[in-house]
Amino acid sequence: MKDKVTDKLGNFFDIFTKTITRILLPISVVIAVILVFNGSPASFEGKDTITTLQGDTVQVSRGPAAGMIAIKHLGTNGGGWFGVNSAHPLENPNYLTNMVVMIAQVLIPLAMIFASGYFLNRKRLSWIIFGVMTAGMLTFLIPTMIAEINGNPAITEMGIDQSKGSMEGKEVRFGAAASAYWSIVTTIISTGSVNSMHDSSMPVSGTMQFLA
């Protein structure tokens, strides 16, 4: 039986270097610049002392956070620069940065699906895989979004306004919907980052997060 050989697999170190220099670093720089212009620190300075509106004195960490945060999300690595991860106002300052780092988390995983279809010369297969994965994501995402947007019915019965959804453990700058969306995407991609506290999610949401 004749051995099957190929000389078209390429050189590992060549592909590895090109992946870093032509894909990971350029995209990380773009994400980092967006974060910097929206308020994420990007320096080598230590803690800064500020006085809050209540008159309290607090120590605020700084450092080269923006670059590390960009690499973290693009590489789907969940550990954050600050203790509360992407719920921290300096790590994820506003809704724009929230969407940018959300896209960064799914960018390479989605690209790999279509890249495999291209290299296998089976592009239709890659679309089928993408469709199945999207359906699976929606299976977890839709119940989570509904549960978080509608809020806790027991609290509603107490006469407390929940028109903005279940906001316990969530940042007001993101709201219930964006927090629910993040909680599912970060678990199906296995990034592990958070922009809200998952232990404060509704029971249905927690179930979907475990299953994802």
pLDDT in tens, 6-44: 676 778 898 899 999 999 999 999 999 999 999 999 988
**Ranges 30-44, 153-167, 168-182: which has the least confidence:** 153-167
List Cβ neighbours of 73 (8 Å cut-off, separation of 6 or more): 31, 101, 104, 105, 191, 193
pLDDT in tens, 60-85: 888 899 999 999 999 888 778 888 89
Please check the confidence at residue 5 and state whether its pLDDT lies above 70. no
- CA neighbor of 76 nearest in space, from 105, 36, 46: 105
Task: Output the pLDDT for position 192.
Answer: 84
Neighbours of 141 (CB within 10 A): 19
Report the distance separating Cα 114 and Cα 167, nearest Å: 37
Look at residue 149 and tell me if it is in a domain.
yes
Look at residue 5 and tell me if it is in a domain.
no
Look at residue 174 and tell me if it is in a domain.
yes
Task: Output the pLDDT for position 170.
Answer: 92
Please check the confidence at residue 4 and state whether its pLDDT lies above 70. no
Return the SS3 of 190: coil
Q: Dihedral sign for Cα 25, 26, 28, 32, please.
A: positive
For the entire predicted model, the pTM comes to 0.85
pLDDT in tens, 110-140: 999 999 999 888 999 999 999 999 999 999 9
Look at residue 2 and tell me if it is in a domain.
no
Task: Output the pLDDT for position 156.
Answer: 77
Report the distance separating Cα 209 and Cα 119, nearest Å: 33
In percent, the amount of the chain with pLDDT more than 70 equals: 96
Look at residue 18 and tell me if it is in a domain.
yes
- Quick one: pLDDT band at residue 45, thresholds 50, 70, 90? confident
- Quick one: pLDDT band at residue 212, thresholds 50, 70, 90? confident
Look at residue 3 and tell me if it is in a domain.
no
Q: What value does the mean pLDDT of the chain take?
A: 89
Please check the confidence at residue 166 and state whether its pLDDT lies above 90. no
In percent, the amount of the chain with pLDDT more than 90 equals: 55
Name the domain count of the chain. Answer: 1
Q: Residue 81 half-sphere exposure, CB side, CA atoms within 13 Å? A: 23
| Enclosing domain of residue 83 | 12-211
Look at residue 4 and tell me if it is in a domain.
no
Task: Output the pLDDT for position 11.
Answer: 83
Is the Cβ–Cβ distance between 182 and 64 less than 8 Å?
Answer: no
Look at residue 7 and tell me if it is in a domain.
no
Please check the confidence at residue 2 and state whether its pLDDT lies above 60. no
Task: Output the pLDDT for position 149.
Answer: 92
- If you compute the radius of gyration of the chain from its CA atoms, what whole number of angstroms results? 21
Judged on CB neighbours under 10 Å (0-12, 13-18, 19+), 10 is: exposed
